Chain A
Amino acid sequence: MSGNGKNYDSIMKILLIGDSGVGKSCLLVRFVEDKFSPSFITTIGIDFKIKTVDINGKKVKLQLWDTAGQERFRTITTAYYRGAMGIILVYDVTDERTFTNIKQWFKTVNDHANDDAQLLLVGNKSDMDTRLVTYEQGEALAKELGLPFVESSAKDDQNVNEIFFTLARLIQDKIDSNKLSDAKNTNDGNVNIKSSSSSMSKANCC
């Protein structure tokens, strides 16, 4: 890959959405810069960050789009959902409202995002004593919506990397399996692969 001068193999566009103050920016700053600031700073518009990670032996450049949660600044339009390969829906485990609003966010995503976008549900602030949404509730909602689920704490750096790596892996698997099926269609051969597990996709190198 060094031949083309690029230091990565692919790009993934990932969006973080959810109510104001659930910790989207904190998760991102923890992941990209390994920092945490307890003070609340409203995101205006979209903050854009980049991190290159290693997924299944490939260097993947993550384009991370941190969106404003506050209704007044929530001006993100269909154009920005479009093209997102991964969308992280975040709620705050200490605030039930943010949890119930996840369904609304899910609907918005379904209306505007690509059909094949990989979603992930995250319950943030798991370190807090004032928890009002249990892990089981989160898990149940994730099951209902058919999403993978992670609880995290940007403050204590729990499961933060997992969020992004899990999502990136799921996306990579999708890409790989698509390539496989494409290959299958074009070759009209007898490649017998049904699953999209990571071990299989790794074998498929093009």
Chain B
Amino acid sequence: MFKGNRLKGVSNPFKSSSSTSPATSPVLKSSESKLHNPFKSSPASRQDSTFKAVSQTFKSADSKLFDPRDIQINGVNGRIVCSAFDFSQSLLAVATDTGDIHVFGQKQTDVVFNFGSKIPISHLKFVKGIYLVAIDSKDSIMIISLYSKTLLTTVFPPSKITCVECDPSLDWIILGLQSGTIVIYDVDRDVMSDISIENLQKSYYFPKERLSPVISINWNPRDVGTLLISYGHVTVTYSLLDMEVVKDFIYKLPPYAPGGDASARDIDRERIPRVMQSLYHPNSLHILTVHEDNSLVFWDANTGKLIGARTLFDTDVNLPQNDAELMNFASDTSNITNVSWICQNNAEHTALIIATRSERDNTQGLTIIELGGTPLYSITSYDQMKKYYFNPKQQKISLLVDKSKLLKVMPIPKASPYFGGCHDPTFILLLFESGELETMLYPSASFTSKSSLFPPCLSWATPLVSNSMALSVPSKLWLGMMSAAAVKEGIVKGGSPAKKPMRTQTTRSALLTGHSNGSVRICDASSKELDDNAMFEINIGRILNRAYNISIGEMSLAPETLELAVASELGGEVVLFKFEVNKFYNDKNVTDNLNLKLSRFSINDINDTIIDVRDRAPHNVKQGFMPNCIVNAKQGTVTALKNSNIGFVGIAYSTGTVLLLDRRGPAVIYMENLRNISRIRSLQVTSIEFSIMEYGEDGYSSILMLCGTDVGELLIYKILPERNGRFCVEFIEATRTNNDSPIIKIEAFAKESGYSCEANILKMQELSKGIPIPGYVITTARNDVRLTKLGRSKVSHKTFKYPAVASSLMYIPGSSERKTLMPYFGVLLSNGGVKVYSIPDVREVKAMQLPTQIHSKYIRESSFLKNGDIYTRTNTFKSILLSVVNDATNVGSNPRDQTPDTLYNPNLKIPYRPQVNSLQWARGTVYCTPAQLDMILGGERRAESKYKESLIARGTLTLKPKGDKNGIEEPYKKPIRHTSPRTGAYGVFKNVSRTVETTWDSLETQMNDYATAMGQSMNDMMEETGKDIVKGSLGI
């Protein structure tokens, strides 16, 4: 019936991905040819009675082949509640609600700390690259060494901690307490400093007000000797050298000034809106205070003068208005929750990233106010400064839709660890209450779903996984793909993973995760065994051009042809992909017309079942899983999906419709509702499989589509070639195979050899020879497993005490010769039990218990694989890969016996901390060195550190500024030199600044840019500075 010629016309899906195809077939051949046939040795192998004897002998020897163990854990154990990034070591730390702290580095580097406490961590801070400070919500301060990966000590502060400040180059962490007091802890020496700062608001400003906790502490970005401290009503700059307040900033609203809240009831009185955050401009010359009424108030840090007060959309809000106008302000109800003052590589170019949340409908957004280049402080009037803050270059709003509460905005700096971690970020990491992470790109304000930027474990939280599965892939093809597409672009580059021995296998386990944002990610499930890791990623949101209903439901990957089918969980659309070279690759010149066409695409405008979406391939990706078409049958959600290795895709819908699509075309070649076929009122198809074998006593083999239903019925179809080269589908029979429960897996194997009858190109090509392959079909339902001879009768069956979760034919090395693969059948039960059967007699070889529980919520997300691996999702953010194969060569590969990964690299330097600019210094600011700070806080007899980490970290500090690329460390160039004649006072200044320029660096690097604009005012100012300098020098 299959004539050779006709099948030759069937395109081989391998061909288009030429680089990978040659590798596939040999692997398969070898794996199949190596299959040991346990039956051949027995002359009467076809008789069931003889199996008994054979399998009895198996039992003793074969049971030793199996022993369950962990292979790899993917993800994090629990919801992420806190995160921190260290620039100098390039490490990312996250803490989960289960009390785990993960520190991630490059590739698979992942060290987990758990100190037995389940109290969630509220603050994570890196100190000098070598210490990780974790503070939990019960105020225990844990100091962890990243070098030795141990807990060094735990400290308890005298009262509840309300805010924490530390610096990547200093030993000290500053702790603001509920009582309003500030205490300082020496991380390096494990002592509390004798120095503490009293509640300044209580002592000096509002003694009668209720006791305010410390709201916010910031180190001056240019001077370690000054702190910016906020209490409820007052913000101050505080000098640690002089132990006194330098300037205070109190935001007083006169009557009828709206502030950030025009609807305030007491608007007719003077008010002081409460402070919620305070920040330094990266040049340290201006201060921003953020208030609970949503006012953003800018101040001159030197003079304490209020430059201007604004809200997100209005300006001059600190000035009194007449009543009528106030009405206009009340429209926006979003509350500011957090502000980050980020800067570009040149720290004078800044932007504000403001997180907002509406109390009314929980709408959240991020407003980016692009301030642009800061006007030169010394020559700009307050009015001009106000304009700078009131008329930004750009303002845009990015909405966070369908997200839980935003907990943290974390810029990932590219230029230095300073400026509060806000120095030149491209990626802004957002942490939500649900434990999810989102990545916003700056400055575009778009969101990226790309997970390869982050450690693979975090893929489970970026965003939530809606479905996951594992499947067997041919080793050689897979490893080739992995090394070709190895990830090189990660943000986290530190640490180095410990090497794990690689298991020698003909199939490896691939992990597929589908996410709520429409992403599907494909990676190796035991990636710690590989040097090169890749994560293939597609997003159906992009293909469907839709923001809603894109969460991923069913997924199916054809591992030999590298075709992928993905269903949207709620929409029911199926998108088909194929791994290939991108025909639409065009990194630069995408025409506006194409862009417009792509941007206006809407699936609702098209009535066809098959929608060609090849041109929606991402134009900047050269090779990968490229979109082919969308199948939009409008038959409800997808209940089963199978992309076979021979180009057919079976899709079953919740309405009971079964659809068969031939990817050559593509064309729908069959669509029928189950109601017209089922004999026992099956409502839905729950599993689909394609096999090539003999049906009944046909005398030849055919391509069969086997569908299992929700009530244990098996539907059998033949896919037959037609004269025109197309295929047609013929329904053969519906037969009740299993007890009344959904069939979760269908597999077929050849009677003679025991090898799988799963359809692939090789077997399809051999159909033309007309050789019949008689075989058995195993159907696994929740309650039982059946072995059936198609077109005949049920051969045998097994029932279980607990529901079956996953099953598979396994081909594992036998006990005698290492390289001979023996077929077995394994079933995973919901209680974590595993049963292994010999085939075809289905006799129990081994029963064992996995060291992991099967989570009832994620029962569907469990897979049993051909190499004896078991995949199961253990919670929202974590999955585990285990193996039931007792492989003596892999002793020590259990993650629990592993040497941990390395985190700390002593060769990485901590950059030089930016300094106060020369003008500031000249104006009388007393500069404080880190050594002086240590002296002040630690006292003259500061003890030596008991940690070896101390010495190592000291070696990584950059003590002298270098003229380098960052623009912060250029030697001071005094612009005045290029300008007009000097006054006498200037002479003094000149001498001083000459010495200055060799040892001190300037931060006002733009001075030159502005120099041309400078006129008389500059000279006047310099005169004043000259006078100040004398004062300053006397003061020192």
Contact surface of A with B, Cβ cutoff 8 Å: 4-6, 9-11, 13, 19-21, 38-40, 42, 44-50, 63, 69-80, 82-83, 95, 97-98, 206
Contact = CB atoms under 8 A, between A and B. Distances in A.
8 contacts: A44-B445, A45-B399, A46-B397, A48-B396, A48-B397, A70-B599, A71-B602, A78-B361
Contacts of B401: 75, 77
A71 B445 CA distance: 17
Contacts of B595: 40, 42
B599 A206 contact: no
A72 B592 contact: no
Across the A-B interface, the 5 shortest Cβ-Cβ residue pairs:
A83-B331, A45-B398, A79-B363, A40-B592, A5-B319
B395 A49 contact: yes
Given A44-B444, A71-B546, A74-B547, A97 B361 contact: no
Interface string B389-401: 0010011111101
A87 to B, nearest CB: 14
B399 A4 contact: no
A44 B444 CA distance: 8
Given A6-B325, A38-B592, 17 more contacts: A5-B316, A13-B331, A39-B592, A40-B592, A40-B595, A40-B596, A40-B599, A42-B595, A44-B396, A45-B445, A47-B396, A48-B397, A70-B545, A71-B547, A72-B599, A83-B332, A95-B600
Contacts of B363: 77-80
Contacts of B333: 79
Contacts of B202: none
B726 interface: no
B891 interface: no
Given A44-B445, A71-B547, A11 B328 contact: yes
Given A77-B361, A77-B399, A97 B605 contact: yes
B319 A4 contact: yes
Nearest to A12: B328
Given A11-B329, A83-B332, A4 B320 contact: yes
B316 A6 contact: yes
B274 to A, nearest CB: 24
Contacts of B605: 97
A62 to B, nearest CB: 11
B599 A21 contact: yes
Nearest to A104: B604
A10 B445 CA distance: 30
B608 interface: no
Given A77-B399, A79-B360, A48 B313 contact: yes
A42 B367 CA distance: 18
Interface in B295-352: 313-314, 316, 319-322, 324-325, 328-329, 331-334
A78 B367 CA distance: 17
A44 B599 contact: no
Given A72-B541, A72-B542, A79-B363, A48 B395 contact: yes
Interface string B368-405: 00000000000000000000000100111111010000
A49 B313 CA distance: 10
B619 to A, nearest CB: 13
Contacts of A71: 545-547, 602
B56 interface: no
A98 to B, nearest CB: 8
A120 to B, nearest CB: 19
A5 B257 CA distance: 11
B609 interface: no
A59 to B, nearest CB: 12
Contact of A20 (B331, B546, B599): B599
B446 interface: yes
Given A6-B321, A10-B328, A46 B399 contact: yes
Contacts of B313: 48, 63
Contact of B319 (A6, A39, A50): A6
Given A45-B445, A49-B395, A63-B313, A21 B358 contact: no
Give the most central of A4, A19, A45, A63: most B CB within 10 Å: A45
Nearest to A13: B331
B294 to A, nearest CB: 15
B362 to A, nearest CB: 9
A67 to B, nearest CB: 9
A76 B328 CA distance: 22
A79 B444 CA distance: 22
A7 to B, nearest CB: 9
Contact of A44 (B325, B360, B446, B546): B446
Nearest to A85: B331
A74 B333 CA distance: 21
A95 B322 CA distance: 47
A119 B615 CA distance: 37
Contacts of A75: 399, 401, 547
A86 to B, nearest CB: 12
A39 B593 CA distance: 10
A75 B403 CA distance: 12
Contact of A97 (B322, B397, B445, B600): B600
Interface in B413-439: none
A83 B314 CA distance: 14
A97 B600 CA distance: 9
Contacts of A21: 596, 599-600
Contacts of B399: 45-46, 75-77, 80
Contacts of B602: 71
Contacts of B599: 20-21, 40, 42, 69-70, 72
A8 B319 CA distance: 13
Contacts of A82: 331
Contacts of B596: 20-21, 40
Contacts of A11: 314, 328-329
Contacts of B367: 48
Contacts of B444: 44
Contact of B322 (A4, A49, A77, A78): A4
A63 to B, nearest CB: 6
Contacts of A42: 595, 599
